[in-house]
Structure 1
Amino acid sequence: MVEINTLQDLERLWEALIQGEGKPICFTGLQGASRMLVLSHLLKTAPHPLLIMTSTPSEAEKIFNDFIFFSQEAKGRQKDIPEPRLFPQWEVLPYDDKSPHPEIVKERLSILYRLVHGDRLMVVTTVRAALQRILSRVVLKRGALEIHVGDVLDPDSFMDQIRRLGYRREELVDRPGTFSRRGGILDIFPPNQPYPFRMEFFGDEVESIRIFSPEDQRSSHQVGSIRTILSREILLDPPAMDHFRKRTGGALHSLSALPDPEEAPDGVEFYAPLFCPDMETIFDYMPDQTIVVLDQAEEIQNQAVSFGREIEERYALASYQDRMPCGIPDLYMGSGELTARIKDRRSLSFALIPQEGEEEARIQTESIGSLAVPGKSRIASLCEVVRGMKNQARICISVRTPGQANRMMELLSKEEKIPSARCDLFSDLPNEKGIVGIVVGPLSAGFGFPIFDLACITEDEIFGIKRVRRSSKPLREGPFLSSLSELKEGDFVVHLDHGIGRYRGLREVGLDGMDCDLILIEYAGGDLLYVPPEKIRLLQKYSGSEGHSVRVDRLGGTGWEKLKQKVKKSIEDMSRELLELYVQRKVAQGTAFSPPDHLFHELEETFEYEETPDQQRAIEEVLEDMQKPTPMDRLVCGDVGFGKTEVAIRAAFKAVLDGKQTAILVPTTLLAQQHYDSFTQRFSPFPVKVEMLSRFKPRREQKEILEKLRLGQVDILIGTHRLLSKDLVFKDLGLLVIDEEQHFGVRHKEKLKQLRKEVDVLTLTATPIPRTLEMAFLGIRDISIINTPPENRLSIYTKVARFSDEIIREAVLRELNRGGQVFFVHNRVSDIHRMADYIHRIVPEVRIDVAHGQMEENRLKDVMDRFLDKKIDLLVTTSIIQSGLDIPNANTMIIHRPEEFGLGQLYQLRGRIGRMDHRAYAYLLTRSEKSMSEEARQRLQVIQELTELGSGFQLAARDLEIRGSGNLLGSQQSGFIASIGFDLYMQLVDEVASELKGEKKVQPVEPSIHMQVSARIPKSYLRENRLRIDLYQRVARLDDPADLARIMDETRDRFGPHPQELENLFRIIELRILARRLHISEILEQDKRILFTFDKETPVPQERVLRLIRASSNRIRPVSEFQLELVKPDGNFEESWSMTKNLLQELI
């Protein structure tokens, strides 16, 4: 054994390892993140490529982040050390019928590509990723293309080539591995690039290559060349297909009849050895001088053996299912081969004790551990530790964001008078021992390290473990109105003048000798209505509420207009009630709470996630409301798992700090228990008494809680509608938090209405609030919207399939193998235990239990506690779990008989998973498709399409259908929405709100413009109907010529030069924008004149018209009170358009 007492001892050992002298080294005694401090220091003294192997993905991520924390240097000071990269494992089972997620493939291929091209990298990976064979370097190079501006390249051949590289053709290119083509423009998003590229061809020549944004599809700047690589971990080019035929010897194989590489099925990567010879491993890609680093070698060996058993079991299953799998040695190394590959390299390891054949190098370090002391402030505990260390070592506190660094400095200096300095990098840490360095960056665990004269403390050790949100962007906030581009033939649409009909497509017809596009709508009795694109503003995609049948209107009837008036009257009644409550609230005297103090900031630090910007904004808006003297009534809206509970926790703490009590009202007992656990855990370092009233509590205990509540000895009370009982008396209630108010009955809502006039009320809802509704209720109800998705970077894989033992076993084992848990939803209490026994026979190695609403209270609580503590692997449960439960480790859900659930239930159920870094899986297992209704089949199709959490905000109309608008507006309003569609309902809400506020709302005029020219979007220019309708809808909504100019630039950029017909359309749109401002209802071009018809509400002064007529030399003449004619010479459209535009501009 070697004792390491100085940095020189450490460096000498490293130099000997590089030179290949002596045995492999095993470092022992290293605590927390100190392992990566050692590696970082060694690489700075003598740079060298490394392959670091860990037992699990979570350990790999910790090591990766720790290394970055210690190794980063400011610009100009960088050492020549290898760049760290995280090489992920496939998150699928061996021999799976699913392909790895594109984001994982993108990261893997980009690392391999860089290694092939000689980049010096420090690769961090898992043992599973290391055991898996990958495409050879020869094949990877063959799958790489380099294209330069000026190259001669046939676009059709290039498309065929990239298809074989695994790229899929899409209408829009917004994710890696996709491409699209529109005439002479080809968009492509290579996995090795951070952004997509737009290639413009002139014949067969690459004329330009531009980078563009996947969000708005606009080009930013030009580049001279582009490098593309494979998009999947398989190559299906002609040599690969030849190799496949040789390997299979002409035998019938499931992939023999592959019609098109683009059609390659999910899971084709597991057949890669049949297409690509000489598979390699990550070891082959690393340079010869690479040093292999093993983090906890014993754990790695255990994982390798366990993975080997799993591979054998999965191979046997694939063989049994006649899937003709490749042999195990073709796809994976065994643990023996792995050991041999490690021995071929120089290596070092970190472990508790060394393995046989290793030389132990012992380094003394100390662990820090949690600073939580019952009854003591976390900051006080930290300061105690800092004072004890400050003369012995430099002190580093790691925090995740600059904002937290500033808060930490404030807490240290204000409360404890301890000097500190904020450092953006660890290398900026002050050398003086008396100053605490606060470094921005995540660190897995703290440590004391004498030979570095250093002590590191993490914010997790001070405030509790945080889970970092991935850098996810807020979901796009476009207009909430449903996009007509989503329409499929047969969908319902709303025409504002004629009512609900069925969309029958975009038709190209000849009219007056010119080609034009018309939208066809079918009404009751087969009546047809042709809508020109210029009137597309009158069309809306129908979106109603689940459970309501849609009635198609009769063309030309009076019922539609009467229905609109009835709905508007109902909205007026509802809005007046809201306004009345609002006025009462404004004159009532509430509690003006004080601004946040140091204790409040200390609670903020204990939040286990980083706040997203809009979550932070919601918190600030709530705190501002609470500091006003009038009672707060704020609605906080955010989709499942977006962090609404944290807003409530902060508000409750503010109330308690000011001596007021808080009531938290929830719809279910299970949710009450979950909130109780969350609030109790968060407030544990503070003198806050949290209690819960529910059927989990015995009557005697409930009585004691009520007495303590009356005496003011309970600060926060959580419960179901029991909180609204007459026997419940608060000493001084200051805040009421209501979770999902729509779940409470009429009687309860009346009590809540009364409370709203007296105390601050905060309501939480998962119903998506459209921007139009927020604006409509502005000033009547205060709304905060949390619109940033949670930390799950991967979409929820959703599969509808027949019930099968194989699928259940596969799904359960996939989740358990990555350390997760499983929900199995079976919504029949009568045979739920029988179902649990059945599952146990399928997966006997799994710990299973049952939860449902009819269980005895303590038994249900015990089961949920054990599931939360990971003592249960699979929970067979009813839909009792659908409201608000947060069990982040459960990331697979199997729903039995999903056809028996409503869309809203399925969406809420699935929202229980997808809360960790791993991809979540939802399996909807049906018993018989034949007996399923068409409506049920459509529901399952929709839930399969909505794979992203928060897709309610992106696919607004579809989501309201799913969630039911009754959640927000009540069941009566929900019925009205069903009868006229959501978009029109919102329009009426906006009108009513304006009227109630005394604003005069002038009805917009939709000008009809008929010029003697063909003006449309030709199909030859834009092939996809969806994109054509979307463009028609966008230009029809324009009210500003500057916006029109932007769209013209965008279409040139995205689709190529404008054909004449499109140029004509844009010119007519420009006239329509001007005509709309002037309230001109029609512009009609005839042989010798252009006729202008004005609306009676036109803002054009009569004097201006008369002045124009007098100055026109008889070219402009009045026809009637609201009509003018412009005499035109025989000329072309260009001249007619120019004269019309000049006249309109002169009238403005």
Structure 2
Amino acid sequence: ISYPAWDCLPYDRASPTLRIMSERLAALHALQAKSASPRLLVTTGNAATQRTLTPFRIRQLVARLAPGERISLDKLGNLLASNGYVRVDTVNDAGEFAVRGGLVDLFPSGAEQAMRLDFFGDEIESVRTFDPQDQRTTGRIDGFTLLPASETLLDEDSIKRFRARYREKFGANATGDPLYQAISDGRRLAGMEHWLPLFEEKLASLFDHLPGDAVVVRDTATVGAAQQRFDAIADYQQNRVRAASTAPGSYRPLDADALYLAPQQWSTALDAAAVHSATPFHEPESATVLDFQVDGPRDFAPERASGTNIYEAVVDHLAKLRKSGKKPILASYSNGARERLTGLLGDHGLNGAVHAESWQEALGAADKGIALIVLPLDHGFAAPDVAVLTEQDMLGDRLVRRAKRRKSTDAFLNELATLTPGDLVVHVDHGIGRYEGLTQIPVQKAPHDCVQLTYAGGDKLFVPIENLEVLTRYGSGEEGASLDRLGGEAWQRRKSKMKERIREIAGELIATAARRAVRPGEVLEPDQGGYPAFVDRFPYEETDDQDRAINDVLEDLAAGRPMDRLIVGDVGFGKTEVALRAAFVAAMAGMQVALVCPTTLLARQHHRNFVERFQGFPLEIGRLSRLVPAGEAKATREGLEAGTIDIVVGTHAILSKTVDFKRLGLVIVDEEQRFGVTHKERLKALKADVHVLTLTATPIPRTLQMAMSG
């Protein structure tokens, strides 16, 4: 069971995310249930020092929804709203619900999937799970336990309690505060959780939820971490007090001990519990010291210092671990790092490496070999039956990644000038929001320029102008685009799926490049006698870029593997000359050349240029397009199949299934981005084992993607 702390600062204007609150409430509910087997609760000092709902309140707020249960749609909607759920049009995140006729979609706290309730009148007829990403049903269940989505509830009693205590605490003038007015109207407001004590009759700590016989194990660093937390809470509270004023909207902080345990209460709670201290340092076993026989990982610092091959040392160490009966597990930072580590260790004699996707799978794989798993660990450990090594244990401190280049604030300010209120923008962390314009907000009693964004549910986000690199203009059509919700998971889930797709594409590109690297291609080298004479016919002096492009193409043709080069140049800058020289080299080497153009006009121009430049050389040039007479087209097709036509210039007619080449060696594609999908598939088939040269003056993303993916 995991019990996290709020993912916001003390006395913040931001709320903890619904995901965090859902996880906290699910953990507290799990502690209320009796269990026949031992349970492990993992938490932090920050979470344990914060007050929360009482065990009675948790039990009181739980509801069971299952087929056959009777509850009206209005009553269910009110129940969800008062329990912190947010009504939306389409459910994407935990803590959201939507009502569509007789269907109610909701994403309950602590649930892994969203639920779809089908009503017949006031009776729940069925409960199905569905994927919020595509809204498709994934299965049926017998029912589920509905937990609140927030620790701050807006039922009738809680609102009355808040109103009375807020006036009592801060005076009648405070009734003009946006917080007071929003709660009075039954609306949720960002940051309202920091006034949780005003909503509840009483609060409890995590220790109040633990059974009387619970064993508490704390790390040696817990004492220092708790003290730092208390100091931070006091500091944030004092800053809020100093900045507070009587003006409406001013932040009116509660006392520190209202929402957090006081240092003395923390010490008393630890003294009252059966607390054990865990230390990484060796101590002699005694009546009060229990040795778990867990030690640190093997240190490869001596090998790194002496220049010894570290991978060979790791492979030897893994063999010793296997011989001693321990299960060896290697932990990497990412999938890419794991792949790289597998290859490096394999090159140095490691056998039996197996990739595992979970800890249980890793333990099973390590029974017979070496398990490699992705785990966010800096250092491993050695236990009686298992030994974990991380990349940092083997290779030393992680290399500092090169900082990402920050987007130019000036560039976005220029872009900002083209935006009008109501346009959509994208925040790197929060997703799609609506631009409301530049505004000033008081910070430490001084005005501060910010960009104001509005998100789903009316939430507002103010981005300081010095942090504008986190914003970009929404690039797609705004029609049908929906706003994300602050603190929601939909944006992060979309980003995660896109990252997975990018990884898949990257894997495909790497595989394609690898296949090209090992695939043999025709070695085509310039004819020492004819090529200089052909070059001399060029009536202009080559530019530096043109010269470099020609040399690169000739090197590709002579490399012994299929060329796939993209030449980008503006109109009139000499791309055709690069194609002419490549065609000459290939044709004089005995291979056929096909030049494919998107239009008949362009095909006619290229054919005329080719005929003029190749005049006097023993090469036959044909043409194919819808404007070519039927007799000439038939003769060209027959010549290509027989091998008597050396170069053919034409439109997509060259891509017809009726056209066969005897010894096609080079395909030149002009303005590739103007071809349709069907023609591109035919081009891919032609490009399987031949040299390809693509020319374009407009390198749109599709052209670049085609160049890389083949």
TM-score class normalised by the smaller sequence: 0.5 to 0.7
User: Which residue in 2 is equivalent to 1:340?
Assistant: 268
- Residue aligning to 2:241: 316
Structure 1: gaps spanning 5 or more residues: 1-84, 468-487, 493-539, 544-608, 632-721, 736-740, 759-775, 777-987, 1000-1148
User: Is 1:95 matched with 2:11?
Assistant: yes
Alignment match, 1:383: 315
User: Deviation at 1:458?
Assistant: 2.9
Kept in 2: contact 1:147–1:226 (CA 8 A): yes
Match of 2:510 in 1: 619
| C-alpha contact 2:82 2:154 (8 A) present in aligned 1 | yes
Task: After TM superposition, give the deviation of residue 417 of structure 1 in Å.
Answer: 6.8
Residue by residue, what CA displacement relative to the aligned partner does 1:143-184 show, whole Å, maximum 9, x if unpaired? Answer: 322233233322122212211111111111121111111222
Match of 1:106 in 2: 22
**Quick one: structure 1 residues 231 and 991, their matched pair in 2 at CA, closer, same or farther if it must change by over 3 Å?**
same
Amino acid paired to 1:617: E
For residue 285 of structure 1, the aligned residue among 176, 191, 209 is 209
| Residues 412 and 419, structure 1, Cα contact 8 Å, conserved in 2 | no
Is the aligned partner of 1:140 residue 2:58?
yes
Secondary structure of residue in 1 paired with 2:676: helix
For residues 270-307 of structure 1, what are the alpha-carbon distances to aligned partners after superposition, in whole Å with 9 as ceiling and x for unaligned? 11111112111222222222111112334434433443
- Counterparts of 1:608-757 in structure 2 under 5 Å? 612-629=503-520
Q: Residue 115 of structure 1: CA displacement?
A: 1.6
What is the rounded CA distance, in whole Å, between the counterparts of 2:269 and 2:681 in structure 1? 79
The change in CA–CA distance for 1:397 and 1:623 in structure 2 (over 3 A counts) is same
1:158 aligns with 2:76: yes
1:118 aligned to which of 31, 34, 38: 34
Aligned to 2:653: none
Contact 1:152–1:204 (CA under 8 A) maintained in structure 2: yes
Whether the aligned pair in 2 keeps the contact of 1:94 and 1:315 (CA below 8 Å) is no
Instruction: Provide the C-alpha distance between the structure 2 equivalents of 1:997 and 1:364, rounded to a whole number of angstroms.
Output: 60
Give the distance between the partners of 2:269 and 2:578, measured in 1 at CA.
Answer: 73
Q: Tell me how far 1:90 sits from its aligned partner.
A: 1.6
1:398 to 326, 330, 338: 330
1:445 corresponding residue in structure 2 = 379
1:966-1014 per-position Cα deviation (integer Å, ceiling 9, x unaligned): xxxxxxxxxxxxxxxxxxxxxx998743697699xxxxxxxxxxxxxxx
Q: Does structure 1 residue 176 correspond to structure 2 residue 176?
A: no
- Mark the CA change 1:246 to 1:262 in structure 2 (over 3 Å): closer, same or farther: closer
Number of residues of Structure 1 aligned to a counterpart in Structure 2: 448
What TM-score does the superposition give when structure 1 sets the normalisation length? 0.34
With over 3 angstroms needed to count, the CA separation of the structure-2 counterparts of 1:245 and 1:407, relative to structure 1, is closer
Secondary structure at 2:311 match in 1:
helix
Q: 2:298 aligns with which of 355, 368, 373?
A: 368
Distance 1:630 1:359 in 2: 74
> Do the aligned partners of residues 180 and 489 (structure 1) sit closer, same or farther apart at CA in structure 2, a change above 3 Å counting?
farther
Given residue 347 of structure 1, which amino acid in structure 2 is its aligned partner?
Answer: V
Seen in structure 2, the aligned counterparts of structure 1 residues 453 and 199 have a Cα distance that, compared at 3 Å, is closer
The partner residue of 1:214 within 116, 125, 132 is 132
Which stretch shows the higher mean deviation, 313-322 or 190-199? 313-322
Report the Cα distance in structure 1 between the residues aligned to 2:150 and 2:27, rounded to whole angstroms: 14
What SS does structure 2 have at the residue aligned with 1:231? coil
- More relative contact order, 1 or 2 (CA 8 Å, 6+ apart): 1
**Structure 1 residues 164 and 421, CA gap change in structure 2 (3 angstroms):** closer
Q: Distance in 2 between matches of 1:611 and 1:461?
A: 30
Say if 2:10 and 2:233, in contact at 8 Å, map to a contact too.
no
Q: Which moved more, 1:127-136 or 1:620-629?
A: 620-629
**8 Å Cα contact 1:311/1:328 also seen in 2:** no
Counterpart of 2:469?
A: none
1:325 Cα deviation (Å)? 2.2
| Counterpart Cα distance in 2 of 1:458 and 1:364 | 16
- Once the two structures are superposed, residues 463-493 of structure 1 have per-residue CA deviations (whole angstroms, 9 ceiling, x without a partner) of 56789xxxxxxxxxxxxxxxxxxxx99999x
Cα distance change, pair 542–113 in 1 and its aligned pair in 2 (3 A) = closer
| TM-aligned CA distance change 1:381 to 1:156, over 3 Å | same
Deviations 1:108-161 (A, max 9, x none): 222122122335531222211111111222222333222332333221222122
Query: How far does residue 216 in structure 1 lie from its aligned partner after superposition?
Result: 2.1
Q: Conserved in 2, the CA contact under 8 Å of 1:145 and 1:229?
A: yes
Aligned-partner residue type, residue 52 of structure 2:
I
Residues 364 and 109 of structure 1: CA distance in aligned 2, closer, same or farther (over 3 Å): closer
Matched residue type, 1:379: Y
Determine the structure 1 residue equivalent to 2:452: none
Match of 2:225 among 274, 287, 300: 300
Cα distance, 1:620–1:302 mapped onto 2, change above 3 Å:
farther
Q: Distance in 2 between matches of 1:611 and 1:998?
A: 22
CA–CA distance in 2 between the matches of 1:997 and 1:353? 65
Give how far 1:441 is off.
6.1
Indicate how the Cα distance of structure 1 residues 615 and 349 shifts in structure 2: closer, same or farther if over 3 A, else same.
Answer: farther
TM-score, normalised with respect to structure 2: 0.52
Q: CA deviation at 1:268?
A: 0.6
1:261 to 1:396, Cα distance in 2 relative to 1, 3 A: farther
Aligned 1:226-265 pairs, distance under 5 A: 226-248=144-166, 251=172, 252-253=174-175, 254=177, 255-258=179-182, 263-265=187-189
Q: Distance in 2 between matches of 1:338 and 1:725?
A: 76
How many angstroms does 1:612 deviate by? 3.9
Q: Which residue of 2 aligns with 1:803?
A: none
- Could you tell me whether the CA contact under 8 Å between 1:447 and 1:456 is conserved in 2? yes
Counterparts of 1:343-358 in structure 2, within 5 Å, are 343-351=271-279
Distance 1:416 1:386, change over 3 A: same
Cα RMSD, aligned residues only? 5.1
3-state SS of paired residue (1:232)? coil
- Give SS of 1:348's match: strand
Task: Output the amino acid matched with 2:8.
Answer: V
| Structure-1 separation of matches of 2:382 and 2:121 | 67
Number of the residue aligned with 1:275: 199
Corresponding position of 1:893? none
Q: 1:405 to 1:241 in 2, by over 3 A?
A: closer
Q: Output the CA distance in 1 between the equivalents of 2:339 and 2:397.
A: 19
Determine if contact 2:338/2:374 at 8 Å carries over to the other structure.
no
Could you say if the C-alpha distance between residues 397 and 263 of structure 1 is closer, same or farther in structure 2, counting changes exceeding 3 Å?
Answer: same
Rounded to whole Å, the distance in 1 between the matches of 2:546 and 2:338 is: 43
CA distance in 1, matches of 2:194, 2:106: 26
Unaligned runs of 5+ in 2: 400-419, 425-475, 480-499, 523-543, 560-565, 583-597, 599-670, 683-710
Q: Distance in 1 between matches of 2:64 and 2:252?
A: 36
State the alpha-carbon separation in 1 of the partners of residues 324 and 10 from structure 2: 52
1-side partners of 2:4 and 2:60: how far apart? Answer: 23
Aligned to 1:416: 349
1 CA distance for matches of 2:115 and 2:501?
33
**1:110 aligned counterpart, secondary structure:** helix
Identical aligned residues as a percent: 22
- Offset of residue 87 of structure 1: 2.0
Q: 2:255 aligns with which of 317, 327, 330?
A: 327
Change (3 A) 1:166 1:619: same
**Taking structure 1 as reference, are residues 308 and 272 closer, same or farther at Cα in structure 2, changes over 3 Å only?**
closer
Shift in CA distance, 86/236, structure 1 to aligned 2, threshold 3 Å: same
Shift of 1:260: 6.9
Q: Which segment is superposed worse, 293-302 or 335-344?
A: 293-302
* Structure-2 residue corresponding to 1:1018: none
Return the alpha-carbon distance in structure 1 between the equivalents of residues 50 and 102 of structure 2. Answer: 41
Amino acid across the alignment from 2:349:
E
Q: 1:368 to 1:402 in 2, by over 3 A?
A: same
